[in-house]
Amino acid sequence: MKSQCGAALFAGMVVGVVACSGAAPSDLFSKSGLQTQDPAPTGAVVDDAGNFTSTPDETDATSGEPLGDAGTGTVHPTPKDGGVDAPVKDAAPPPPPPVTCGFKTSGALKRCAANDVCCFDSAATTKLACTPATTSCGGFVIACSSALECPVGKQCCGTFDSSAGYESVTCMDACPTPTTTMNYPQLCTGNPGECPPGTACTVSGTITGYSICK
C-alpha cells in the first residue's frame, strides 16, 4: 500500500513539474540527461520504438559520390587509383621466321640467318644467296617467300616490271593492283591457303624455288 502511494506521489510531482515548466514530458527527459540512445543522424530512418534502422550513405569529400550501399550504411573505401584499372598491354606478336632462300642440297628449304636477306642474282653462279641486309645485292632482294614470313596481316608481294623483270620481293599491307607495265604477284611459297579465291599457288617461272598466286 505504501509503495502504491509513493508511486502516485512521484507521478504527481512529475506532473506538477511539467505543468509548471510548460515542457512536454519527452522534452523534460531528453534535456535532463535521461536519454540513453544517441540522436539519429540526419536523414536516418527511425522506427516506432525510437531506434534508427538505417543511416545515410557517406559521400566522397572530393567528388561527392556516395561511398556506401543505399539504406545499409555500409561504406566502401575509394580505390587509391581512382577506380580505373591499369591498362594491360597486349603481348607483342612473335617476329616472323627468317626468309626462305632456295633449297639445301637435301632438297629442304633453306632459311637465312635472322639479320640476313635473300639475294637473287640471275647472273651469279648461285642465283639465290643469303647476304647481310647491309650488303649490296647484285640482283634484287627477296625479303619474304609468303605471308608466313611477314608481320601479321601483311602479304609477301613481288614488284615485277614487264620490261626489266623483278625489282624486289617484300612485305606489304596488300599487293597493289597490276598495271599495264607492272605486276605485283603475291608469293605463297609453302602456304597455298593464302591465295585469294579464283587463284592457285603455282611455282614461279622466274624465281626458282618460289611460288606465286596466279
Query: For 124-137, how does the pLDDT look when each residue is reduced to its tens digit (9 = 90+)?
Result: 878 889 988 888 88
Give 128 or 176, the one with higher predicted confidence: 176
What is the three-class DSSP state of 153? coil
Kindly give, in sequence order, each residue whose CB lies less than 8 Å from that of residue 159, ignoring residues fewer than 6 positions away: 166, 167, 168, 169, 170, 182, 184
Total domain count for the chain?
A: 1
Which pLDDT tens digit goes with each residue over 188-202? 999 999 999 999 999
In a domain, 84, yes or no: no
In a domain, 23, yes or no: no
Joined grid coordinates for residue 129: 644467296
Task: Measure the CA–CA gap between 95 and 1, rounded to whole angstroms.
Answer: 104
Task: Measure the CA–CA gap between 48 and 45, rounded to whole angstroms.
Answer: 10
In a domain, 61, yes or no: no
Per cent of the chain over pLDDT 90 is 31
Joined grid coordinates for residue 16: 506538477
Task: Note the pLDDT of residue 88.
Answer: 66
- Angle (nearest 5°) at CA 202 between 198 and 204: 135
In a domain, 2, yes or no: no
Task: Note the pLDDT of residue 6.
Answer: 47
Task: Measure the CA–CA gap between 155 and 213, rounded to whole angstroms.
Answer: 11
Domain containing residue 111:
100-187
Task: Measure the CA–CA gap between 133 and 135, rounded to whole angstroms.
Answer: 6
What rounded mean pLDDT belongs to the chain?
74
Task: Measure the CA–CA gap between 168 and 1, rounded to whole angstroms.
Answer: 122
In a domain, 127, yes or no: yes
Task: Note the pLDDT of residue 22.
Answer: 53
Task: Note the pLDDT of residue 108.
Answer: 77
In a domain, 168, yes or no: yes
In a domain, 126, yes or no: yes
In a domain, 162, yes or no: yes
Task: Note the pLDDT of residue 74.
Answer: 53
Task: Note the pLDDT of residue 51.
Answer: 64
Mean pLDDT on 153-170: 94
